[in-house]
Amino acid sequence: MVDLHVHSTHSDGTLTPTQLVEEAMSAGLHALALTDHDTVSGNDEFLSAGRACGLCVIAGVEISAQFTPPEGDGVRDDEMHILGYFPQWSPSTAGHLAPLADIRAARNERNPKIVARLQALGCDVQYEEVIAHAGNEVVGRPHIAAVLVEKGYAKDSQEAFSRFLAKDAPAYVPKAILPQREAVELIARAGGIPVLAHPKLLGISNPRELERVLVELIEVGLRGIEAYYSTHQPADVECYLRLAERYGLLVTGGSDYHGGNKPRIQLGRGFGTLQVPDRCAQMLAELVT
């Protein structure tokens, strides 16, 4: 088994890249890819740690993009996440991904607005506390959730989201991000493999509609689909595998492990039943871009 979707302390995970490699070794995984939100700053440490202990490691990223469904489906103010994998990682790859700094800047504009809303709702939470809690360059809602839990405004992160931070909750503020096509293009231009992350979270119930989204993204360079994912049911996986076959897409999969920030998700195993086949990592690792 392998895990091609994990977060470190460089975004909203709680383990360092080195600790993730150690955890993967003790879980008996055969390959691991690091996919932090909107940053690639953990990849160098991740690759050295993996190579030092003989684990197959793949550098990556997960870009937050603005999801606009194909014409005729109305406007949905939603996010789409695009994974990027870089089997041939080099320092110049990071250079090509410099535009990610704009997405991080958009986060930095948004986070104080969320905190201001929380204060208006009567929560004694300061932006400085959130920054201190995150302790790195990418600050996200899970860090705000952790501070809310610490201060007793929610019993756990899930409740912090449902009461305050989720899309339909009172402290939610959208973030200005890249249109979906540009996220795919950015990864492709940097020599990476763009993959649609957790398609189920797009909330598209009609497979035809998802197909139209895929076709639009394939036109600009999409190469794969994350068929295996912690919350995908067997019927979902089957649907995504069929679409992958129809469009010649690579199949990937991962848990979306965040360490203590999502304590119910285990590395490699998701909620307990996830199994991402080794060949998903082999196909990626052997790709020459």
Interacting residues toward ligand AMP by CB under 6 A: 12, 37, 64, 140-142, 157-158, 161, 166
Pairing verdict, β 178-179 and 78-86: unpaired
The residue (of 119 and 136) whose beta carbon lies closer to Fe ion is: 136
Expressed in angstroms, the distance from the first to the final Cα of the chain is: 24
In the complex, least distance from residue 62 CB atom to Fe ion, rounded to whole angstroms: 5
Report how far Cα 123 is from the mean position of its chain's Cα atoms.
Answer: 28
Q: Which of 66, 76, 34, 72 is nearest to 203 (CA)?
A: 76
3 binds Zn ion (CB under 5 A): no
CB 138 within 8 A of CB 11: yes
Q: Which of 141, 143, 283 is nearest to 224 (CA)?
A: 283
Element holding 33 (H helix, E strand): strand 31-34
256 binds Zn ion (CB under 5 A): yes
Binding to Zn ion, residues 55-84 (CB under 5 A): 62
81 binds Fe ion (CB under 5 A): yes
The three-point CA angle 59-3-10 to 5° equals 50
CB 278 within 8 A of CB 245: no
226 binds Fe ion (CB under 5 A): no
Tell me the number of residues near Zn ion by CB under 5 A.
2
Inter-CA distances, 248 with 56, 69, 199, Å: 24, 22, 17
The residue (of 92 and 214) whose beta carbon lies closer to Fe ion is: 214
Of 12-20, 41-49, 83-91, 107-115, the segment contacting Fe ion by CB under 5 A is 12-20
Binding to Fe ion, residues 161-200 (CB under 5 A): 197
185 binds Zn ion (CB under 5 A): no
12 binds Fe ion (CB under 5 A): yes
Q: Please state, in angstroms and rounded to a whole number, the distance separating the CA atoms of residues 252 and 249.
A: 9
In the complex, least distance from residue 60 CB atom to ligand AMP, rounded to whole angstroms: 15
Pairing verdict, β 31-34 and 56-67: parallel
The residue (of 37 and 110) whose beta carbon lies closer to Zn ion is: 37
Q: Which does 249 bind (CB under 5 to 8 A by kind): ligand AMP, Fe ion, Zn ion, none?
A: none
The residue (of 140 and 270) whose beta carbon lies closer to ligand AMP is: 140
Q: Which does 23 bind (CB under 5 to 8 A by kind): Fe ion, Zn ion, ligand AMP, none?
A: none
36 binds Zn ion (CB under 5 A): no
The residue (of 81 and 110) whose beta carbon lies closer to Fe ion is: 81
In the complex, least distance from residue 158 CB atom to ligand AMP, rounded to whole angstroms: 6
In the complex, least distance from residue 146 CB atom to Fe ion, rounded to whole angstroms: 12
Strand-pair partners of 62: 37, 83
In the complex, least distance from residue 83 CB atom to ligand AMP, rounded to whole angstroms: 13
Q: Please state, in angstroms and rounded to a whole number, the distance separating the CA atoms of residues 170 and 73.
A: 26
- Contact residues toward Zn ion (CB under 5 A) are 62, 256
